[in-house]
Structure 1
Amino acid sequence: MQRSRLVVLAGPTAVGKGTVADCVRRDHPDIWISVSVTTRPPRPGEVDGVHYHFVSDAEFDHLLAHDGLLEWAVVHGAARYGTPRAPVEKQLAAGRPALLEIDLQGARQVRESMVDALLVFLAPPSFEELERRLLGRGTEDAEQRSRRLATAREELAAEDEFDVTIVNTDVEAACRSLVELFRSGP
């Protein structure tokens, strides 16, 4: 396994970033996965500290004021998300491979601050499949789905900003491809 490599996994909403990261978490415990903070409430089945650290606006503001976030963004016009800086730096300093599962805005910020990071774009097999996945999730109302799909179109157009693209046709295959990037070295 490549040591001390930072890989950033990003892609449009509902493409399966969390599902692929869960596969890595389950099958490759040697890869440390950052847990983002968010101001949005948990979705059904999400566990604080596992899927996200669910924080108040005041807690998020405190992290921002004290340079506690490697990257952050307002996503879908509402909630804020960010990557706590200290745990990432600690893992990399210890020589452990690290994975960030974040959005496009965050990936751009990481590219600026950590130039050695490998940026991986997780793409859907088609826009229609992305829309089907979002609808199947059943976690957003019609207005939220519409906003997320509009954002997804913009995010898909940014694919060429990334070092590598993995098409998420099959979660297990996408997971294997992602893990192989840690092994392949710089």
Structure 2
Amino acid sequence: MSGVLFIVSAPSGAGKTTLVRGLLETDREIRLSVSYTTRKPRAGEVNGVAYHFVDEEHFLAMREHGDFLEWAQVHGNYYATSASWLRSELAAGHDVLLEIDWQGAEQVRKKFPEATGIFILPPSFAELEARLRGRGTDSAEVIARRLAAARDEMRRVKDFDYVIINKDLHIALDDMRAAVRAARLQLTAARARNPQAFDFLDKD
């Protein structure tokens, strides 16, 4: 693999989607993996852009066929990453970003231990709750379920390489760009991206 694989995870409401969008707008070298999901589209979400929206029967058939690199059930819905697309993008030298939950991240790391993990935390649990309630898109029952899961999700932070505290969006975005730059400067990634600069290592 010559491209760098980034795994970005966070509890619901931490600002993951906003930060990923901001990163992709300024870094054209990263390709976003569009996940498959059985979740219903929210207002403004476009099929094939936000997610590949499929029904549960279709999803389970794809899973059975081995089409997914990883999959997880989160808040009652299924999510998964296309295996063939990701492997072909990395092989072509493209950096790929997976915006997935900790369950998916754990599965991906077993297959790609060299992947760079970035975890996004809210400044506090109270702030996370305020953000979820302020969305106005979920029922009280859904919010309660997300909060119950968030504490366990946040404990997974120790499995990641970089941690971003999303208190100020602009600072958090700068931190995320810094993590991406740092990952690209690691020896293996730098050599894959600039092989001509390392020709001397192959000479006597």
Matched, 1:27 2:26: yes
The CA distance in 2 between the partners of 1:79 and 1:62, in whole Å, is 15
Larger radius of gyration: 2
Q: How many residues align?
A: 183
TM-score, with length taken from structure 2: 0.85
Q: Give the CA deviation at 1:68.
A: 1.0
TM-score when normalising by structure 1: 0.93
Could you tell me how far apart the structure 2 residues matched to 1:138 and 1:158 are?
27
After TM superposition, what 4+ stretches of structure 1 lie above 3 angstroms from structure 2?
none
Q: Check the 8 A contact 1:70/1:110 in 2, yes or no.
A: yes
Q: Which residue pairs with 1:42 in the alignment?
A: 41
Deviations 1:65-123 (A, max 9, x none): 121111110001x1101111111111111111111100011111111111111111111
State how far apart, in whole Å, the 1-side matches of 2:107 and 2:74 are.
14
Once residues 182 and 29 of structure 1 are traced to their aligned partners in structure 2, the CA distance between those partners, rounded to angstroms, is 12
- Provide the C-alpha distance between the structure 2 equivalents of 1:180 and 1:100, rounded to a whole number of angstroms: 17
Distance 2:130 2:180 in 1: 30
Unaligned segments of structure 1, at least 5 residues: none
Asked which structure has the greater RCO (Cα within 8 Å, sep 6+), the reply is 1
Contact 2:38 2:54 in 1 (8 A): yes
| 8 Å Cα contact 2:6-2:116 kept in structure 1 | yes
**Residue of 85, 98, 115 corresponding to 2:113:** 115
Q: CA offsets, 1:42-67, max 9 Å, x none?
A: 11121111111111112211221121
Q: Which consecutive residues of structure 2, in runs of 5 or more, have no partner in the other structure?
A: 187-204
More helix by share: 2
Aligned to 2:80: 82
